[in-house]
Amino acid sequence: MCSSRGGYIMGKRVIVQLSEDEYATLRMWLSSGKTEQRLVNRARIILGSARGLTLKGIAAEVGLDWQICMKWRRRFLASRIEGLKDKSRRGRPAIITPEERVQVMALACTEPDDGSNHWSARKLADASGLSKSTVHRILNEASLKPHKTDYWCGKSPDPEFTEKQTSILGLYLSPPENALVICVDEKSQIQALDRTQPMLPLRPGRAKRLTNTYTRHGTTCLLAALLVHQGTIEGRCVERHTHEEFLNFLKHLYRKFPNRELHVIVDNYSPHKHQKVMEWASKRTRLTLHFTPTYASWLNQIEIWFGILAREVLCGGAGVPNKNWSSASCIT
């Protein structure tokens, strides 16, 4: 048996011995989704060697030639983790002047003159006179992403924000005994479309296909109620979304769940606060309306379900023109 730095040879098999830090680093390269694929492959080669695999076994597992596996095993035994990184290559490095950097960065932070809402690398290259790859390099080094937009929740001006938020979150986390917590809202302007030809189903090598031509059946409004702790939906489609439709929907919920205390969470849409709605609700001892704070309708859990409905049912499909859409049809 002949020794080597960090490993020993058993016949034709080189078993690499790893320290705890080296093992943790290699496992991190494997588990991280942002690690370059070449580093992932090199980590798999070394970990395979640590398990006692032969070069042939490592090559079959990693999917590389055995000579490449031997190269990176040798470099690891010689330089450890640093040996797995690429060496600096020859050639003159690209030179980007400070003026060019400032020009691209300043342009990227402005609005394009052509009316579009953000700069692309190609547009920046045309405007600055630099190559697209140079623009990419400048943007990456400056961590500028003109194509990306983040959103934040602005501060609510509601003076009772804390009290309303606490009340709603308390209902979600610890509802009263024998009570139903129901989130209610409308999703309006749903396109009721129907394709002019039947859908062609998914097949091996071919995606599901829909015709580009469709028939319009107008729009519909979905009134939906999420029973938070049961995970079920009650819904109906209406042609309008005024206080009358909302009040009728509340009456439907009130009748459907007798002998239960109802805590209904809604936003500040004007039909929800209509005088007739408030008068009817005030006379119902089993019903309590909870209004989300101003600009905080995201506290209403039904908004999450509307997002799922739009993504998984409405987008890319055909609408439902029947205004008497049952509650069962609303469940995805």
| Calpha distance 245→238 (Å, rounded) | 7
pLDDT digits (tens, 9 = 90+) for 3-26: 444 555 444 567 888 999 999 999
- Angle at which helices 121-128 and 98-108 cross, to 10°: 130
**What's the pLDDT score for residue 86?**
83
**What's the pLDDT score for residue 10?**
44
Planar angle of CA 219, 220, 225, nearest 5 degrees: 155
| Calpha distance 279→251 (Å, rounded) | 13
CB 48 within 8 A of CB 40: no
**What's the pLDDT score for residue 7?**
55
pLDDT digits (tens, 9 = 90+) for 41-78: 999 999 999 998 988 899 999 999 999 999 999 999 99
What stretches in the chain show pLDDT beneath 50?
A: 1-5, 9-11, 320-332
- The candidate with the shortest Cα–Cα distance to 223, out of 207, 196, 243, is 243
In which order are the strands placed within the sheet that holds 261-266?
A: 232-238, 214-227, 179-195, 261-266, 287-291
**What's the pLDDT score for residue 93?**
66
**What's the pLDDT score for residue 286?**
95
| Calpha distance 188→170 (Å, rounded) | 29
What does each C-alpha distance from 162 to 21, 25, 152, 182 come to in angstroms? 47, 45, 18, 20
- The candidate with the shortest Cα–Cα distance to 167, out of 256, 74, 290, 17, is 290
Q: Taking the mean position of all CA atoms in its chain, how far away is CA 229?
A: 24
Planar angle of CA 65, 41, 48, nearest 5 degrees: 80
**What's the pLDDT score for residue 326?**
37
